[in-house]
Amino acid sequence: MALDRDCDVVGVTMRLGVDSAADDAVIEAASRVARTLGIPHRVLDLSDAFADRVVRPFIASYLNGETPNPCVVCNDHVKFGLLLEAALEDGASVLVTGHYARVDATGPRPLLLRGLDPRKDQSYFLYRLLGERLQHIWFPLGDLLKSQVRQIAAARGLPSADRSESQDICFLGDSGIGQLFEERGISSRGGDIVDLAGHVLGPHDGVWRFTVGQRKGIGIGGGPPLYVVAIDADRARVIVGPAEACRVREAHARDVVWDGPETQSRVQAQIRYRAEPAFGVARVDDTTLIVRFDEDVSGVAFGQSLVCYEGDRVLGGGYLTGVS
């Protein structure tokens, strides 16, 4: 699309360093696309930064009983942090990626918007990009449906036109988090699964195996359905209870980025990528975002992001750290 605008285009692929074979496969696939398009292709080694800023915090967060979202962190620190900085230093004016989101640059400052395709919208992962960085970012796929993107790729003869999509975290192997821990020699600390009164219902092999709102795979059979209500990593306890015990009316977030009204505003808020937006009132200060929902919501897991919208516009958000 940038080529259609007669732009000087250079393809760049990041080497992340977690799995050399996977890195090599991604780089080779990107090289084939670049050759098909007739553009230069470069590889930027961000292995150390990816390990320090994404993988290690991801592991620490899980061991702390949280449910982290590494894509949010990677977008903030790596893709639209170090990669964007490198592109600008190399003389580029815009970093173009295939995210399904939009940037509205028609007003006095650029705004981040949801992608047109509601099934593919990725603005939840990008909410931390508000502000000056948006001046140098273009998401051309944000105005298209996925089916249209495949048609365009096929018309260009791109080898990726029919490639299957992956919804997995890019640095996890087929065995998931357990394999990541094993490769790094991290031992799993077991503990107890307890009910709301503290009664022990059974053992578990590590708090990182659970997330708030989880029902399947808890390992407690018989009786009424049980859900993960909370995780106490300090005591290695997973607290379970009925569905209603997972419901909260208010959610708190830290490390806030915000481009909305400075005091409070009416919002639609998402507590997870696949969660339905819920209406509520957001109050924000320099360090904290609090959303009071109109109705109770379930599945608020610390470490995920609380992202607020006004229609399609992203107002801001932060990392979930409390409920009431």
- Active-site residue, 170 included: yes
The rounded Cα 66 to chain-centroid distance in angstroms is 14
Alpha-helical segments (H) within the chain: 20-37, 47-50, 56-63, 70-74, 84-89, 123-126, 146-155, 177-183
State how beta strands 101-104 and 305-310 pair.
unpaired
- Active-site residue, 71 included: no
Instruction: Locate 147 and state its tokens.
Output: 């089916």
Query: Angle 78-82-88 (CA atoms, 0-180°, nearest 5)?
Result: 135
Integer Cα distance of 290 and 283 in angstroms: 5
State how beta strands 247-258 and 200-204 pair.
unpaired
Residues 6+ apart with CB under 8 A from 193: 200, 201, 202, 203, 204, 218, 219, 220, 237, 238, 240
Question: Which is the catalytic residue, given 7, 71, 170, 308?
Answer: 170
Question: Which is the catalytic residue, given 7, 71, 74, 246?
Answer: 74
φ, ψ of residue 241 to 5 degrees: the values are: -170, -175
Instruction: Locate 153 and state its tokens.
Output: 């790729």
Which amino acids are annotated catalytic?
74, 170
